[in-house]
Structure 1
Amino acid sequence: MTRKTVRIAMNGVTGRMGYRQHLLRSILALREQGGLDVGGGTVIWPEPVLVGRAEHKLAAMADRHGLTEWSTDLDAVLADDSIDIYFDAQVTAAREEAVKKAIAAGKHLYVEKPTATGLAGALELARLAQAAGIKHGVVQDKIFLPGLLKLKRLIEGGFFGRILSVRGEFGYWVFEGDWQEAQRPSWNYRAEDGGGIATDMFPHWEYVLHELFGPVRTVQAQLATHIPRRWDEAGKPYEATADDAAYGIFELASGAVAQINSSWAVRVNRDELVEFQVDGTEGSAVAGLRRCRVQHRSATPKPVWNPDLPATEDFRAQWQEVPDNETFDNGFKEQWALFLRHVVLDELWRWDLMAGARGVHLAELGIRSAQEGRRLDVPELSL
């Protein structure tokens, strides 16, 4: 076997997402399986170089996983000609400047979203990357979830007929941090630090809707800060200046309507933390992280509204489980594998910085829609 080593500067891996999903469950998982076998006797071997601000955290992480290279000096890492890819999972406010440095250094890019704090910055990154002739990708993990892959299979098989609507519910209760520790970092709730659930989640909903159902043409949103006072990692109270809930209605190019609620102030009464119900003329489906259930037109019951009598039907039991039919791996790992193949083998890739800019654009328009109290058009973007 021929081993093709790809050296990756991984910035922001001391954070929850950067560590768990990108380093541990993607890059290290690929190494544990012997590298990425791309056929023809070739294996791509990812070699991470950890980058961050906290020296003690980087050292401890490297020691824990048997890694030898880490640095708190991003400029020095980017100046290293042996580095092939720059990956960024930092807080959003720090991403733009670091990605610009990586572009100037000629590194291929793979970055978390949102790619920038605003559309102008996101488009500038896309333009700079294109001008530099580098390969660039944006993490769009949710379309690689088993539940949404099953949903995509149904769409491609014509199960729904004409799709009428999409209804999404995402969220869970994030503790305020006083009597129970919060599950999310405090910067998420400070607008001045790039926080806010619309900024965080609307980029996700853009690529989910775009990939599965088609482009978004209009957006109307209502944002709220339901919990105005929280406690940070040091136990100190602070005022939440960013939205912790976003309620969006999106009109799609097909004419279908999507309604997606996102909240960090909701208690879960559903099977999974995110679920999408898709209704079409021929059938409906409910897809979550892993499961997908369907109800075909021919098997649709005929309930009758009567508030004077108790319900006698078990509505959930009237849906059929969609089988796996394939083995599903971690979604972050799956997209990392595709990007590595893109870099090494020049295989087709479509989740680039322009796709990331579309997500930033939708978030920006959603926030503006809430501020102005009106529906806004979502024009197509171009460089």
Structure 2
Amino acid sequence: MTTREIGVVMNGVTGRMGYNQHLVRSILAIRAQGGVTLSDGSRVVPEPILVGRSEHKLRVIADRHGLTRWTTDLDTALSDPKAPIYFDAQATQVRGKAVLSAIAAGKHIYCEKPVADTFTGAMELARAARDAGVKNGVVMDKVYLPGLRKLRRLVDGGFFGRILSIRGEFGYWVFEGDWQPAQRPSWNYRVQDGGGITLDMFCHWNYVLEEIAGRVEAVYARAVTHIPRRWDEEGNPYDATADDASYAIFELTGGVIAQINSSWCVRVHRDELVEFQVDGTEGSAVAGLRECRIQHRGGTPKAVWNPDLPVTERFRDQWQPVPNNAEFDNGFKAEWEEFLRHCLDDAPFKYDFLAAARGVQLAELGLKSSNEGRRIVVPEVAL
């Protein structure tokens, strides 16, 4: 069995997601396990080439992990013929130019979402990748989480019968930054810097809903800025111009109705930071990041509304946990392995730039719905 190294240009690894999820828990973890096995039995080990704006930060990260290849010059990294893959985890607004440069250099492209901050920009990248003949993919990590994988297993097994509705709750309280530091970067709350929870999360909800029940055909949303003033990383106050909460109804193929609340201004009273309840004619399920619980039609208690008597049983105790039945790896790492096999072994990979563009389209139309106060039909997207 042969083993070979390939270079992976990684831009934006000094940021939280780029460093934690993609460099440490994905690429370095794949290296530690000896690489990825291809269909011919050979193994490929990714060699990261770190790219960023801060020489100091890159050097610190490289020294910490024993890496030798890093640069502040993207063109230099893209000129390496032994590095066929480019990864981008920069801020959304600066991603497009770098991705186009990587496409021009003939690299296969994998990047964080949103792939762009406008639908037009997302389609431009999708068409450029198609015309150049390079493989492309976008991080769609939620469907790789154990809870969502269990939910997908239920869908594939016909557990729900006909799916009727989906209810989603996502979010947590992000501190304003004055008396406690905020858990999210300040640019998230400035629309001029590409911030906003609608743009961020609707790109997720689009592929999650597609995975569970089908294409989003219409949207009605209300995006708001609940907290108009926050404090940045240096303790300076600033005006929060981006939406920090978004409440939406999505109409899916086949008449399924989905309702999802997304908020950075909500205190958590649920088992996980995100939960989806799927109700069908034959059964229901509630899935979070890791757990999934079900209630089948035959085991559904007969609830009776009587406000004059106290509740005698906890409703959550009436649900049955779905077993793991498999070992679930880190979702980001699992998707990285799929993309590497896609690039090097021509294995299938469905989360391409066109799929990402559908998410950006949904976010854009969600904001339009909020601004105009009306239901918006979501057109089908094609290259």
Fold shared per TM-score above 0.5: yes
Query: What per-residue deviation string (whole Å, max 9, x for no partner) do you get for residues 51-70 of structure 1?
Result: 11111111000000000011
Cα offset, 1:41, TM superposition: 3.5
Report the alpha carbon displacement of residue 81 of structure 1 after superposing the two structures with TM. Answer: 2.2
Q: What do residues 213-263 of structure 1 show as CA deviations (whole Å, max 9, x unaligned)?
A: 110000000011111110001110000000000111000012100000000
Identity, % of aligned positions: 67
Q: Which moved more, 1:34-43 or 1:239-248?
A: 34-43
Counterparts of 2:102 and 2:333, CA distance in 1: 22
Q: Map of 1:249-260 to 2, 5 A cutoff?
A: 249-260=249-260
Amino acid at match of 1:136: N
Work out whether residues 39 and 345 of structure 2, in 8 Å CA contact, stay in contact via their aligned partners in 1: no
Query: Residue in 1 aligned with 2:365?
Result: 365
2: CA distance between counterparts of 1:39 and 1:2?
12
Alpha-carbon deviations, 1:172-197, whole Å to 9, x = none?
A: 11111111111100000000000000
Query: Which residue number in structure 2 is paired with residue 261 of structure 1?
Result: 261
Opposite residue 134 of structure 1, the aligned amino acid is V
Question: Per-residue displacement from partner, 1:301-354 (whole Å, max 9, x unpaired)?
Answer: 111111222211210100000000000000000000000001111111211100
Match of 1:168 in 2: 168
Equivalence for 1:101: 101
How do 1:111-122 and structure 2 match up within 5 A?
Answer: 111-122=111-122
Find the aligned partners of 1:365 and 1:145 in 2 and give their Cα distance.
Answer: 27
Q: Hey, what's the Cα distance between the residues in 2 that align with 1:35 and 1:75? A: 26
Structural mapping, 1:291-370, within 5 Å: 291-370=291-370
- Structure 1 residue 39, shift from structure 2 partner: 5.2
| Letter aligned with residue 300 of structure 2 | T
1:76 matched to which residue of 2?
A: 76
The aligned counterpart of 2:132 is 132
- Please give the secondary structure, in 2, of the residue aligned with 1:227: coil
The 2-side partners of 1:4 and 1:109 are apart by 20
- State the secondary structure of the residue aligned to 1:286: strand
Aligned residues: 383
Structure 1 residues 236-251: aligned runs within 5 Å: 236-251=236-251
Residue 144 of structure 1: aligned partner: 144
Aligned 1:145-224 pairs, distance under 5 A: 145-224=145-224
2: CA distance between counterparts of 1:321 and 1:157?
16
- Cα deviation for residue 3 of structure 1 reads 1.4
Unaligned ranges ≥5, structure 2: none
Note the aligned Cα RMSD (angstroms): 0.8
Moved more, 300-309 or 178-187: 300-309
What is the 5 A alignment of 1:26-37? 26-37=26-37
SS at match of 1:102: helix
Is the contact between residue 9 and residue 48 of structure 2 (CA under 8 Å) also seen in structure 1? yes
Alignment check: 8 A CA contact 2:294 2:319 kept: yes
Residues 16-95 of structure 1 mapped to structure 2, 5 A cutoff: 16-38=16-38, 40-95=40-95
Contact 2:106 2:132 in 1 (8 A): yes
The secondary structure found in structure 1 opposite 2:44 is strand
Partners in 2 of 1:210 and 1:52 — Cα distance?
34
Structure 1 runs (4+) deviating above 4 angstroms are none
SS where residue 304 of structure 2 aligns? coil
